[in-house]
Structures are given as structure tokens and as C-alpha cells.
Amino acid sequence: MRVSKQSAVYVAMVGLLCVAGLMTSAHALPVEQAVLTFAPEVPPPIERRHPAKVVVHLETTEYVGELADGVEYTFWTFGDAVPGPFIRVRKGDFVEFNLHNRSDSTVPHNIDLHAVTGPGGGAEATLAAPGHSATFTFTAMNPGLYVYHCATPPVGMHVANGMYGLILVEPEEGMPRTDREYYVMQSEFYTGGMHGESGHQPFSQEKALDERPDYVVFNGRVGALTGDNALRASVGERVRLYVGNGGPNLVSSFHVIGEIFDKVWMEGGSRINRNVQTTLVPAGGSTIVEFDMQVPGTYILVDHSIFRAFNKGAIGMLEVDGEENRQVFGGRTGDSVYRPEPAKELKPDDENEDDSNSGQSTEMEEVSRLDLSASMGKGEQVYRMTCLPCHQPSGQGIPGVFPPLAQSDFMLENIDRAIAGVIHGQRGRTDQIMPPQNLNDEQIANVMTFVLNSWGHDEGKVRPRDVRDVRRSGKRVDDF
């Protein structure tokens, strides 16, 4: 199994051309090798104010990688990464595009660049069998941010397996300067198993036809932009995101929680819209958004078709450090534990003589520390991806909206009841509803273990079979 070389900047196969004079007889243009970068990195702005001949070398590959923790998928790629590398040229540039299909590929591949004016965007011209290369040329006629993708039949499958990326054609005068530029590309995956099911997952043609993805992700996998992989910026900086949507099916409602886009290059074209909350990114389309950072914190990138974010993986994070600005954002002006009275009378606990729980605690003593910390680690991932947006990073909840899990008496009082809430959803204690969390037994066991051993709790390990028992009992929160 090979791991994609995310983030490394690589200059595509430097060589051959461009020796000293930097001139080709054919076009009398200076020759440059394209600088390609892996998401979330963007190549440096183009400094020159004249056209050039830009040479791109891109390799198509196939490899088994991780779609989510413990979930493997056979990706088909450009540049050994999903999404493929970011290409940056200038309007008027003459591009020599070399596509190399590695010899261990199982199928032919090609490339359709939406930045190309001409048949198939280069698809027919670049079709390459395993172990072959193809070259074509084009002039970048129109400025904008364009998607590229494989267009080899079955096209849907090549795209669904990860074959897409972005090419920016800068206008002649260049893009305005910003402090940070990032590359974010949404796409969805259709797998044999349900979301979170571990092991190698095959592509599901049936789900793809139904447009029923199990994963909707940024930058090729669940968690590519969260935790340690979060994007970074500082207060006072201007951030620009080059956002693409590989599809293959869904249109994205791209939104950054806690930010308003000062500028949006609508659909990645030349028209600028201002003061936008959520912008559409069509399948096979793009957008460029820009905003100033005024207040530190974690800003969450989502597809605001919100189940895709909280249940299917379409979450990214932008961590911003720097000085608070109480004028812009007053922050918490009150801080208290949120313990609403139960809206319904709960049945007294002694009705089901909690001996299942006491049995559990003797067994719990046998569980090794190591086992607990492994489960905690996996549980933290689930928590970050699933529970955090509502219950918050330190389990503190949001007063009046989402109850805290830290020191939640309701939760600590009856753990099976809390598990039932996570399985089936829960309502009645607040004005809000917790929807059923579409997680398997192992994921729920891990996340509960994490929650029950964080923020001052010390409640031991929940095992998948504990979750299974609650699930089998069919009991809902109100039945406890």
C-alpha cells in the first residue's frame, strides 16, 4: 500500500526542455516547467506579465489508500493523490501537457481539462494505455478556476474513484495578493459497505447511480482537513480558498461556519460577488472565496447540505490564531453548566435494576490501559467528526442549544440510556433534537469510551457488545 504524498511541492519531472536559452523555436516563448502542488497547497502566484510555454507532466496511478480511519479504497489518481495536483498557469500561456499512465495501472486513463478550448478538453488526445504516455498542447484562452478529470469510459467510475483536480488560469494582470491560499476539493465516494464500515470497500455502481454516497469529503478522505491537518491562518490575514467539486454527482453548498465570504469569484469565473454566506459549487465546477480573519478560533468548512457534513465527512477546519477582538465577537458573556429540568418525567431507575451495568464494571477492571487508550483515540476521531459540531470541542455544549456532555449527570447516571440516545436519537430534554447517529457498534463504543473518559470523567470502557445489546433491546431513551 502506498501513501499519497500530500502537501509536498514537486516540480514535475524537471528536465529535457528549458536548458539555457528558455526559448522554443516553434513559439518563441520562454519555457517553464509547471510547479504542481498537492492539496491543500497552491503553487506560488505567477509573477510574469507575459505568456510562456508551460510544460506539465502528470502521471495516472492506481493505489489502495485510506478513505477514513480503517476504511480502505482503491483510488485511481492523477499524481498519486486525491485530488490531483493543482496546476497554475496564466491566460495566454501555451501549455504542453504530458500524461503518463503508469505501467502497473489496470486500465487506460486520459484527462479532460475544463480550461481547454477544443474537443473533449484533451480527453481523446491524451488517452493512454497502461505504460504509455500521450502529449497534447493548448492555449489557456479564458481566465478562471477549472476542474480537470479523467474522461475514460466508464467516465463515472473513473471520476468516482478519485480522478479530478484543479487548474487555475490567472488573468493577465494576475490574481490580487492574499496572505494565504489553499486548495480544497469536495467529492463523494460510493462504497459497498455503509459509512464507517472498516476494511477494503469496493466501488458501488448501484449507489453511484442512485446518487447515494456513503462519504462526502474534502481533499480525498474523511479528516483530510481536520485535527492536525487543519488549514491555518492568523488574525489580520486574508485567506483565499480555491474550491473545486469533483462530484461525480453532488452539487456542494459550500460554507465556512463563522465566516462571511467578502468576495466570491462565482463559479470560478470573472464575476465577483460580495458578502456571501454559502456559495454553490457545481459538480465539475469551482468557486474562489476570500475573507479576512478578524477573530481567532476554529472555523469549520462544510457542505451545508448538512447531513453530508456531520454524517458523511464533509468537514474541514481552519484554525486561526491571534488577538481576540471583543468588538467584532464578544465571545461568551456568561458561563454556567446547562442542566435543564427533564421535560418528561423519566421512569425511576430501579425499574430495570441496573445489574447489567454492575456486571460491566467488574469486567472493566480487566481491560488493559492500552486497550482503553486505543479505543479513546478512535473515539476521539469519531467525536471530532460527528459530535463536536454540536457538543463542542471540550464537551461544553452551547448554552440553550446543545447540552454539555462534560459533567452531564443525565449521561453519567445511565450509560446504556446514553448509548440508546446515540443510536436512536433523543428529544424532549431540550428544544433541540439529537438525530440518530448513523454509526456502527464499534464507532459508538469508541466514542462513548472517549466521552466517558474525558473532561474529568473516569467511567471505563464501553465495548461494541454493550452497544449491540442496547441496540438489540430496541430500547429508546424514554424506555429507561
Q: Which residues bind ligand HEC (CB under 6 A)?
A: 310, 386-387, 389-391, 402-403, 405, 408, 410-411, 418, 421-422, 426-430, 432-435, 437, 447, 451
**CB closer to ligand HEC, 300 vs 411:** 411
Q: Which three cell numbers stand for residue 199?
A: 476494511
Residue in 53, 149, 158, 424 binding Cu ion, rule: CB under 5 A: 158
**CB closer to Cu ion, 39 vs 157:** 157
149 near Cu ion, rule: CB under 5 A: no
Of 90-119, which residues contact Cu ion (CB under 5 A)? 109
Residue with cell 491555518: 232
**CB closer to ligand HEC, 292 vs 469:** 469
158 binds, among ligand HEC, Cu ion, none (CB under 5 to 8 A by kind): Cu ion
Sign of the CA dihedral running 380, 382, 384, 389: negative
152 near Cu ion, rule: CB under 5 A: yes
Residue nearest to Cu ion (CB): 150
Number of other CB atoms surrounding residue 80 within 10 Å? 21
Rg of the chain over Cα atoms, rounded to whole angstroms, equals: 25
Q: Is residue 154 reached through a cis peptide bond, with omega within 30 degrees of 0 on the bond before it?
A: yes
Is residue 451 within 8 Å of 383, Cβ to Cβ?
A: yes
61 near Cu ion, rule: CB under 5 A: no
**CB closer to ligand HEC, 81 vs 447:** 447
Nearest distance, CB of residue 362 and ligand HEC, angstroms: 23
430 binds, among Cu ion, ligand HEC, none (CB under 5 to 8 A by kind): ligand HEC
Residue with cell 467528526: 385
Is residue 406 within 8 Å of 395, Cβ to Cβ?
A: yes
Q: Which three cell numbers stand for residue 227?
A: 485535527
Q: Per CB under 5 A, which region of 155-163, 294-302, 348-356, 448-456 contacts Cu ion?
A: 155-163
The size of the chain, in residues, is: 480
**CB closer to ligand HEC, 279 vs 311:** 311
109 binds, among ligand HEC, Cu ion, none (CB under 5 to 8 A by kind): Cu ion
Q: Which segments of 393-463 does DSSP mark as H helices, in order?
A: 409-413, 415-424, 441-451
Nearest distance, CB of residue 256 and Cu ion, angstroms: 31
Nearest distance, CB of residue 421 and ligand HEC, angstroms: 5
89 near Cu ion, rule: CB under 5 A: no
Residues in the interface with Cu ion (CB under 5 A) total 5
410 binds, among ligand HEC, Cu ion, none (CB under 5 to 8 A by kind): ligand HEC
Q: Per CB under 5 A, which region of 158-166, 294-302, 383-391, 411-419 contacts Cu ion?
A: 158-166
Say whether 128 sits in a helix, a strand or coil.
strand
**CB closer to ligand HEC, 281 vs 447:** 447
In 69-143, at which residue ranges do the beta strands (DSSP E only) sit?
71-78, 87-90, 94-101, 112-113, 133-139
Q: In what order do the strands lie in the sheet with 252-257?
A: 231-234, 315-321, 297-303, 252-257, 278-281
Sign of the CA dihedral running 77, 378, 419, 408: negative
283: phi then psi, degrees, rounded to nearest 5? -60, 130
**CB closer to ligand HEC, 68 vs 283:** 68
What is the rounded (10 degree) CA torsion for 277, 280, 286, 287?
Answer: -20
Is residue 444 within 8 Å of 422, Cβ to Cβ?
A: yes
Alpha carbon 449 to chain centroid distance? 25
Nearest distance, CB of residue 422 and ligand HEC, angstroms: 5
**CB closer to ligand HEC, 68 vs 422:** 422
Nearest distance, CB of residue 438 and ligand HEC, angstroms: 10
DSSP class of residue 424? H
**CB closer to ligand HEC, 238 vs 427:** 427
136 binds, among Cu ion, ligand HEC, none (CB under 5 to 8 A by kind): none
Q: Is residue 43 reached through a cis peptide bond, with omega within 30 degrees of 0 on the bond before it?
A: no
**Which of 219, 203, 300 is closest to 254 using CA atoms?**
300
Residue in 42, 125, 127, 150 binding Cu ion, rule: CB under 5 A: 150
Chain contacts with Cu ion (rule: CB under 5 A): 109, 150, 152, 158, 163
